[in-house]
Amino acid sequence: MRHGHGTYAVVRGLPELDDDAPGGSPMRVLDLLFAGVERISCSAYLGSLHLRRADEAERRTLDDNVGPLPDGDTVYFLKAGSTQDYVVASGLYWAEFDLAPAALSPLASMDAEYRANHPAVHGVFTFPVQARSPAGPGRDGAVRRGDVRPVPTGE
């Protein structure tokens, strides 16, 4: 997936590691690629991920606390009940892959052959562009099945 944005961050979700598996064995991972990243605030280990968009009031509070956020960017909160762990980015893509835990995410690779050799298990998904309104994708901003759409193949 060529995201076309200069800065990005990948967050990888891993299953519980099997101590008996050979090192570097492929496993099902969930990669989230935040494209066009402007700001990140989170610890190195997130634990359980609860992804949601900031509502207008939360965005205004963040603007007041850390400075103006770029118009058109979205604030993605990463943990339930926390406004301290977030990414400000212009887009978000995610997919499951069968990869070794330390392998490069195909979402971040510019190598078409690497992406072809490591296809997404169920496709690549993204949020549609969000209008800046209090209605948002849901009153609490949480991700719901209807809030996502597949990214067309042949990227």
Specify the higher pLDDT residue, 62 or 149. Answer: 62
Q: What is the CA radius of gyration of the chain?
A: 16
In angstroms, what CA-CA distances link 18 with 7, 12, 31, 96, 101?
Answer: 33, 17, 19, 19, 12
Report the Cα 22 to chain-centroid distance in Å.
28
Give 19 or 115, the one with higher predicted confidence: 115
Q: Helix, strand or coil for residue 113?
A: helix
Query: Does pTM top 0.85 for this prediction?
Result: no
- What's the pLDDT tens digit per position in 16-73? 766 666 666 788 999 999 999 999 998 877 778 888 999 999 999 999 999 998 888 9
Q: Which residue has the tokens 């989170």?
A: 42
Q: Residue 7: which of 34, 30, 32 has the closest Cα?
A: 34
